[in-house]
Chain A
Amino acid sequence: MTSLAAVQARAGISLSRRVATAATFLAFGLVNILVFGAHAHHGDATFTFSLIGAKVTVPPLHVPAALGCYVLGAATIAIAAARLTVLDSVAARRVMIGAVLVFFAISLLLWADAGNEIPVNIVVLLQNTLVGSIPLILGAMAGCMGERAGVINIAIEGQLLLGAFAAAVVASALSGLWLGLVTGSLAGGLVGLVLAVFAIRFLVDQIILGVVLNLLISGITGYLYDRLLVPDANTFNSAPTFGALKVPALGDIPIIGPVFFDSTIFLYITYAAVIFVQVGLFSTRWGLRVRAVGEHPTAADTVGIRVLGIRYWNLIIGGLLAGIGGAWMTIGSVGTFNKDMSSGLGYIALAALIFGRWTPLGATAAALLFGFSSALESFLGSINVPISPYLLGMTPYVATIIAVAGLVGRVRAPAADGKPYVRA
């Protein structure tokens, strides 16, 4: 009886989910038409696809702005109709969500750039997206490592901040970039270790622990910044930064080359980290064990898996990854450390992890979405769109709320996430 009721309830949810998703798609389509299309200036929007001095140049593309928005809006509404009636496989759903978001972004660009002399440089936009996503992706991977093994990691923010601090100070004082990178990574790992010790050994509530570690690290780095880095900035806070590293051959491919294969070492580490976590968790014996520990630690223990050992190692490895993301903020980007410079990125990484339903690829996609919105925001700020930068700044977060409410809905964390394991 109960199982029948449960099945019916689930069917009800999936029906209303289907309607909600279609309605969300419809809303995006209407915005494309009624907001962007109807309010676009006369004239074309121009897209360019090459950097200055590229070996192979791609010709720019001129698109009539209003017409483009109407077409994309109509296509989005068609997708909404398809979602409501015929297509309901997992793959189709993902493609449709992706298409709707891409159409929305292009409509926004068409509207913003209509009649403007400055073209939209797609390569620069995508480069900024990828680079800006580095700390988010690595942070989300850190969260994924911990939470798949059953330990909630809210301390991503602290791992990023301490990684940034340690990398800047070491790279500056010892003028060793690689040393800075390693130290930044180790700093993140240290936070992971502290998290593990308190969560596993002392059974501290993991949400308390994460919030407290963030506060603690913000305090310590802020304190040392005022006491050491400000008085002696030349020694402690003037780190060099990593330069771009072009992959031979691949780096010369038009569009794809400069975006994916011509960046600092951090981007390549990020690729490796995502592959490592994805393949590790879902295609190896170790990953199966990790997921068992995160879902049902008692059962895992019964078959001889070392529950606590796995949790310790996952938190430490995750911390090492997040520490690299933190190091990017200083020695991969600006070179100097500032108080609280992670400015909530760790929390956004956490949101990306939940948004991506605790899967490495899903979390990466969500992180890229956030990276894209901030790249878009800074581009729109640079071409004088007649709209307040603050209202533009709100859009990615509003879009996320709409997406989470309309598209993602109820998510389930690993079953043992957040629960300490004590052998009975």
Chain B
Amino acid sequence: MSGPSPDGHPGQATGGSGTASPAASRAAEYGRAVITAIIEGNQAVVTILAIFAALVVGGLIIAFSDTTVLHAWGSFFSAPGAALSATWNSVAAAYSAMFEGAIFSPGTVAAAFHGGSVGAIFYPLSETASKATPLILTGLSVAVAFRAGLFNIGAASQWIGGGIIVAYLGFAVSLPPVIHVVVCVLGGFAGGAVIGWMVGELKARTGAHEVIVTIMLNYVMYNLLSYLLGSPSLLQLPGQANLVSPNIAANAELPHVGGPPPQVGVGFLIALAAAAGVGWLLQRSTVGFEFRSVGANPSASRSAGMSVERTWALAMLIAGGLAGLSAATVIQGTDLSLNFQSYGTYGIDGITVALLGRARPAGVVLAALLFGALRAGGTIMQVDTSVPVDLVSVLQGLIVLFVAAPPLIRAIFRLRGTRAAGVAGAEAVAKGWNG
């Protein structure tokens, strides 16, 4: 799984000519390795170029689905300048709205000078962090499973499992301030963990393929959620025909740091802590070593005396728990209630986040922040320029596609690449069905 490139050191460049060479020559070799890394396009370079390429393709899509632009191109030969400027205006308007929604809006600085709120400057960034929070957690969920050689398509079902517990504990129980928050968050982890564990345990005991079981569990949980939200004696808000739960108690809400409205939710901090925890688990603990070992080669792990079955069950339990935490951050942090569509696309987005982050915690956090920024910006873009927010899915897809195909990016940007590097770049985070 860990090919030569994932740590940013192209193995074929550093691991070359012998270990016995003098220190001076080794230093020179290292310098050369850094330069070749840039020229050949190491991971960071490829990622940045991939984002750029995706934005270019997205820009073309924006421009050529805009009727004004198409009209201008219709008269290209009489007024070429008008066509080009119409194209530029269309794309620039959409992307600058996106930037202002996700990162920083110059207008807020001007407003701050004229007595407006200083905090408003940071509002877009706080939106980005808030959108990234659940993605970090579902991304970690998928990533943990990947590392143990399992493909978790069911983060959505585990999200719902957690969400049901969080919502119930949130409105039906009354507890003192801090304790209520903690109980709900732990309940979310437990609810997700149970659903995840079922998948791992079924695979361990009967060999049932986790891809089928997770897909089926998604549908089971969608229906279960609607059933619970449709039964007044269970989760439904009394006197309501809609499938929605009551709001959680004020004591159960995750507090915000930094006051309204630009703020960092404690949920974001929970997500970062979870990422650090997963990092520790995978890299420093015995359990994590077993995860990675089973993920890399189950039969060798079995020969070495590990229990492959127990590892599967445990990995899915933790993966499910992380997806459940994602539900806790959404319900306790932003939505404050549960409805029949609360699970949104967190599960599927978690897969792309984990893939872009190469199933590593730090990578997952960065990928989730990027996608969170696209989501936050996409909402503003749709409001300001009426470019549909679906463009964000296109951009996400293109970015992951380009990142996953370094040879393509090298070819587009004329980077010097080797055939061997191409194979290394394609080395799997996920593996075939037979794992």
> Which A residues contact B (CB, under 8 angstroms)?
20, 152, 198, 202-209, 211-216, 218-220, 222-228, 339, 344, 347-348, 350-351, 354-355, 388, 390-391, 393-394, 397-398, 400-401, 404-406, 408-413, 415, 417-420, 422
Contact = CB atoms under 8 A, between A and B. Distances in A.
A295 B408 CA distance: 28
A211 B348 contact: yes
Contacts of A226: 388, 390
A227 B61 CA distance: 11
A191 B434 CA distance: 25
A401 B61 contact: no
B352 A417 contact: no
Interface string B34-70: 0000000000000000000000000001000100000
A228 B65 contact: yes
A203 B407 contact: yes
A420 B425 CA distance: 13
Given A228-B65, A354-B209, 12 more contacts: A205-B429, A205-B430, A222-B388, A222-B390, A227-B65, A227-B387, A344-B219, A348-B215, A394-B227, A398-B216, A413-B432, A418-B431
A404 B223 contact: no
Given A204-B404, A208-B355, A404-B213, A215 B393 contact: yes
Q: Name which of A222, A225, A227, A408 has the most chain B CB atoms within 10 A of its CB.
A: A227
Contact of A390 (B212, B217, B227, B429): B227
B220 A394 contact: yes
Given A202-B405, A219-B390, A347-B215, A411 B207 contact: yes
B348 A401 contact: no
Which 4 pairs from chain A and chain B are nearest by CB?
A418-B432, A219-B393, A410-B207, A216-B397
A3 B398 CA distance: 47
B16 to A, nearest CB: 21
Interface in B210-242: 211-213, 215-220, 223-224, 226-227, 230-231
Given A347-B215, A391-B223, A212 B397 contact: yes
B308 to A, nearest CB: 12
B433 interface: yes
B220 to A, nearest CB: 5
17 contacts: A152-B432, A202-B408, A202-B422, A202-B426, A211-B355, A216-B393, A216-B398, A216-B401, A218-B393, A219-B396, A226-B390, A348-B215, A397-B217, A397-B219, A398-B220, A401-B202, A401-B213
Given A397-B220, A404-B212, A417 B394 contact: no
Q: Name which of B209, B396, B423 has the most chain A CB atoms within 10 A of its CB.
A: B209
Given A347-B215, A355-B212, A397-B219, A213 B390 contact: no
Contacts of A227: 65, 387-388
Contact of B219 (A202, A355, A394): A394
B50 to A, nearest CB: 12
A390 B219 CA distance: 10
Q: Name which of A207, A209, A226, A398 has the most chain B CB atoms within 10 A of its CB.
A: A207
B218 to A, nearest CB: 8
Contacts of A222: 388, 390, 393
Contacts, number: 184
B281 interface: no
A348 B153 CA distance: 12
B207 A409 contact: yes
Given A152-B433, A202-B405, A205-B430, A405 B223 contact: no
Interface in B362-404: 387-388, 390-398, 400-401, 404
A394 B220 CA distance: 5
A226 B394 CA distance: 14
A185 B220 CA distance: 31
Nearest to A224: B65
Contacts of B351: 211
Nearest to B405: A202
A215 B218 CA distance: 18
B428 interface: yes
B118 interface: no
B206 interface: yes
A216 B348 CA distance: 12
Nearest to B399: A212
Contacts of A213: 397, 401
B206 A394 contact: no
B212 to A, nearest CB: 5
Contacts of B432: 152, 206, 413, 417-419
A242 B164 CA distance: 44
Contacts of A208: 355, 400, 404, 429-430
Contacts of B209: 354, 404, 411
Contacts of B93: none
B348 A209 contact: no
Given A202-B405, A219-B392, A417-B432, A400 B426 contact: no
Contacts of A220: 61, 390, 394
Contacts of B400: 208, 212, 215
Contacts of A419: 432
B216 A401 contact: yes
Contact of A203 (B202, B206, B212, B423): B423
Contacts of A209: 401, 404
B178 interface: no
A184 to B, nearest CB: 20
Contact of A422 (B208, B226, B423): B423
A408 B422 CA distance: 38
Contacts of B395: 219
A224 B390 CA distance: 9
Nearest to B146: A207
Nearest to A410: B207
B151 interface: yes
B213 A394 contact: no
A224 B65 CA distance: 8
Contacts of A228: 65
B426 A203 contact: yes
B223 A212 contact: no
A204 B404 CA distance: 6
Contact of A388 (B205, B231, B391, B394): B231
A418 B433 contact: yes
B159 to A, nearest CB: 16
Contacts of B207: 409-411
Q: Name which of A204, A347, A408 has the most chain B CB atoms within 10 A of its CB.
A: A204
Given A211-B351, A215-B397, A223 B212 contact: no
Given A205-B428, A205-B429, A417-B432, A223 B213 contact: no
Nearest to A207: B430
A149 to B, nearest CB: 13
Contacts of A219: 390-397
Contacts of B387: 227
Nearest to B66: A227
A223 B223 contact: no
A203 B355 CA distance: 15
A405 B390 contact: no
Contacts of B227: 388, 390-391, 394
Contacts of A344: 215, 218-219
A192 to B, nearest CB: 16
